[in-house]
A = this chain, B = another copy of it.
């Protein structure tokens, strides 16, 4: 299950991608439109901005705007940023690899191979879809 953090982040990006106007969108209006806690969304937006996906403008008429074309933001990037590993087991994660503490070796682990396949099939979807596909 995806965390609400990730879910909200994706929805916020989609909202920003939908408004192709130049004026920034405020986190409070996004929160209202999407049914998200304002403060919680704020922290997510901050996260996305620090990672370079969003720009921000303070004060009246301020808000957030996309720094890149939605087509150029694959979902893998956002999910890895907000959610963490995509893999179902740490030992098959590309970006968050960790050895499993219960396995003596990965070759002897019975679920390793299948989990690799699952990871690849999930990656296939997340890599080939971008924020633009959320519109």
Q: A121 CA to B126 CA in the complex, in Å?
A: 11
B111 touches A134 (CB 8 A): yes
B118 touches A134 (CB 8 A): no
Contact of A114 among B1, B103, B111, B134 (CB under 8 A): B134
A69 within 8 A of B: no
B114 touches A2 (CB 8 A): no
Size range of the chain A interface in the assembly:
35 or more
A118 touches B126 (CB 8 A): yes
B135 touches A102 (CB 8 A): no
Type the 1/0 row for A1-45, where 1 means its CB is closer than 8 Å to any CB of B.
110100110110011000000000000000000111000000000
Which residues on B sit within 8 Å (CB–CB) of A63?
none
A124 within 8 A of B: yes
User: Measuring CB to CB, which residues of chain A are less than 8 angstroms from any residue of chain B?
Assistant: 1-2, 4, 7-8, 10-11, 14-15, 34-36, 75, 85, 87-90, 100-104, 109-111, 113-115, 117-118, 121-122, 124-126, 129, 133-135
